[in-house]
Amino acid sequence: MADLSFYVSPLSEEIREEGRAEGRAENILIVLGARRIDVAHATREKITTCRDPELLRGWLLRSAVVATAEEIFGEDAPSEQ
Q: What is the pLDDT of residue 80?
A: 39
Is pLDDT of 39 > 60? yes
Q: Would you give the DSSP letter of residue 68? A: S
What is the pLDDT confidence band of residue 47, given thresholds at 50, 70 and 90? very high
**Listed residue (64, 6, 12, 53) closest to 72, CA to CA:** 64
Q: What is the pLDDT of residue 67?
A: 96
What is the pLDDT confidence band of residue 5, given thresholds at 50, 70 and 90? confident
Is pLDDT of 36 > 90? yes
Is pLDDT of 55 > 90? yes
pTM: predicted TM-score of the whole model, two decimal places: 0.77
